[in-house]
Amino acid sequence: MSVLTFDRHRAVITGQAGRLIAHTDGVPLTAPVASCPGWTLAHLLRHVTGAFTWAGTVVTTRATDPVPHDIVDDVEPRPGDDRATLTAGLTAAAERLSAALGEAGPDAAVWSPGPVATTGFWARRMAYETAVHRADAALAAGVRYELDAAVALDALDEWTGFAALPEAYGPRPGAPDLLGPGRTLRFEATGTAADPLREWLIDLTGDAPVRRRTSEPAAVTVRGTPGDLLLAVYRRPVPEGAVEVLGDAGLFDLWRARAGFWLEE
């Protein structure tokens, strides 16, 4: 469960959207987004706008069945696209989503692709969808990415929970098994000693992943500031030496791929 409030998640959506747009100022829309191969900034702006619109549809209609996400995937730039059009569209979509969430409240029952079928899930998910895509924009713009530690820790807590979903660890054609003897991962966010969300251990040795708070040794320990650690688990570039991977780096790579299963569907 998140330690940040529903309204904080709503504020993160609009705040990170604004900062994402700010990263694009003065950067050509044709600039490549290295962390999203094949995309330019125009593709990225279209994708984030589509994600806001998709999530907003789920919330406003109180959908109980999956909502087609074509608008999220339809990222090809249009001939009439320009910076003003794309950034205004993204801003408006973020504000509409935040307003729709505010009207619905955190506990309305709606369909979700994750473990919790409520509007609260969508507020948290879209907050961190936006925060990570802001990192993509920062990379394209060549600027340093920084994220509030409390926000990054909550984002890490959300993401590490996805590895407990059956789709992440169950048998999948062409996907290596995630579970196995001796497979444990420890994540430690540095510089946050007083925070209850500073470390997680993910135990993959049983019939399903188990996540717990502990500092016990693991097959691989991944350590870094909350923001850099978040980028690492999302398979985004981090500054050299910013994240330490101690032990079985292959297990960390496997876990990252399986935990992010739904990003590749």
Other Cβ atoms within 10 Å of 212 Cβ, number: 10
Which tops the pLDDT comparison, 191 or 49?
A: 49
In a domain, 1, yes or no: no
| Residues of the domain holding 165 | 151-263
Kind of pairing between the strands at 210-212 and 220-224 = unpaired
Going through the chain in order, the beta strands assigned E by DSSP cover: 184-189, 199-203, 210-212, 220-224, 244-247
**Phi/psi at 156 (nearest 5 deg)?**
-65, -40
Q: Place 175 in a pLDDT band, splitting at 50, 70 and 90.
A: confident
pLDDT in tens, 101-130: 999 999 999 999 888 899 999 999 999 999
Q: Please tell me the distance from the alpha carbon of residue 94 to that of residue 85, in angstroms, as a whole number.
A: 14
pLDDT at residue number 173: 80
Cα dihedral 82, 85, 91, 95, rounded to 10, equals -160
Please check whether residues 24 and 137 belong to one and the same domain: yes
94 and 199 share a domain?
A: no
Which pLDDT value is given to residue 1? 52
Output 142 or 176, whichever has higher pLDDT.
Answer: 142
The answer to whether residues 106 and 173 belong to one domain is no
Mean pLDDT computed over every residue of the chain: 92
214 with 100, same domain: the answer is no
Report the domain count for the chain: 2
* Residues 188 and 136 grouped into a single domain: no
Assess whether pLDDT exceeds 80 at residue 194.
no
- The pTM is what? 0.92
The pLDDT, as a whole number, for residue 265 is 46
pLDDT band at 193 (very low <50, low <70, confident <90, very high): low
